[in-house]
Amino acid sequence: MELRFDDRVAVVTGAGSNPGLGRAYALFLAARGARVVVNDLGLGGDGSGEHPSDAAAVVAEIVAAGGEAVADGHSVADPDGARAVVHTALETWGRLDILINNAGVCIPTRFDEVDDADIRRMVDVHVLGSIWMCRAAWPAMSAAGYGRIVNTTSGAVFGEPWLTIYGTAKAGIFGLTRGLALEGAPLGIRVNAVSPSAATAAAVNTFEFPEEWRAGFAASLPPESVAAPVGYLAHEVCEVSGTMVDVAAGHVKAVVFGHTAGHHSDAPSIEDVATHVGDVFAATDPVLISDPHDPAAGVRDADGALQPKPYRPGA
């Protein structure tokens, strides 16, 4: 049976670039019945505006194919802008079922070279943008007892030259995904992260590609190949939550945490650690963790015995 999104309303951020992942997600969801808010600030993948994106053009594609969509030009990088994006969905269709946090800015450069403003820009759009959008969507999803959120992380979290700040921001998004998966479970909200690889306008405009690579790059990694796995994470049949899914060239893989068996001592000393460092890092019998609900993930309060002190904003 075809998995469809009839009567569902989705917000896709950063969906105006062509070719682009957000556009591919928006077109895929709309083709399967979803009504889509196509959000994009119009500045392109590096945030400079040199290679602009166009949310209205993506909406026109969806409408021409018989779907329903509206464009939204608010910034996800501040809480008012994020609330305005969600308001567009609620004002237009009265509900919000799916949020795909795809908006991003990539500025590859050395750690000792990148300026303060560009650090702030990457952190604001990726980490804070995802937080603001999730916070804005959370009340509507909580009230409905249903929601699907797909955040965007990256293989850069494992370390990549020129992408230290970008990778740091993407690692923060995965931390957000894990925590929200736990908080969303009793509310019917599933939260996952995708690590996509695709030949997007942002990638081509951000990196220098040898001319002989371009055709093969575009052919082997079309953004459309990522849309179906993301569509699964956004669908009601998806029951996994807190996962990181790597999608590239037709491959769909779960990325998991893990730890080694390690070394134990009742009174560890620096000399003890130095002596047994081989045991600490030995890859024998590793414990793999994909689900944050897994006790091996280190959830120390499974019975709810520990409760936080009353929250005092700004204290």
Residue with tokens 């999730």: 134
Contact status, residue 39 vs residue 103, Cβ threshold 8 Å: yes
DSSP string, 169-205: HHHHHHHHHHHHHHHHGGGTEEEEEEEE----HHHHH
Find how far residue 304's CA is from the centre of its chain: 29
Contact status, residue 248 vs residue 199, Cβ threshold 8 Å: no
Distance CA 234, CA 175 (A): 19
Tokens of 185: 């479970």
Distance CA 85, CA 38 (A): 9
Tokens of 273: 């650690």
Distance CA 43, CA 243 (A): 30
Residue in 251, 245, 135, 237 with CA at minimum distance from that of residue 192: 245
Exposure string (b/e) for 225-234, b if CB count within 10 Å is 16 or more? bbbebbbbbb
Q: What share of the chain is helix, strand, coil (3-state, %, to 5)?
A: 40, 15, 45
Contact status, residue 22 vs residue 13, Cβ threshold 8 Å: yes
Residue in 147, 129, 130 with CA at minimum distance from that of residue 138: 147
- Active-site amino acid positions: 166
